Amino acid sequence: MSVWGAIAGGFVGTLVLTTALRAGSEFGLTRMDLPFLLGTAFSADRIRAKAIGYVLHFVAG
């Protein structure tokens, strides 16, 4: 396995997980918002926390 393959797999996995969690939240199946949870560690502002959380989620993904 190459490094680029691992990076691509991590990106696709993160994208799928984020999409599934967001869809579940929109359909009322779950209240968990992983990017928001990550972002609140860095900002108390809800909008800024979501933006920071999505960036952190994709970087760590």
**Sequence spans of domains, the chain:** 3-60
Confidence of residue 61 (pLDDT cuts 50, 70, 90): confident
d(CA 3, CA 29): 36
| Alpha-carbon 39 to chain mean position | 10
Query: Residue 48: is its pLDDT beyond 80?
Result: yes
pLDDT tens-digit readout, 6-40: 989 999 999 998 888 889 988 999 888 888 899 99
35 contacts: CB under 8 Å, gap ≥ 6: 18, 50, 53, 54, 56, 57
| Alpha-carbon 22 to chain mean position | 9
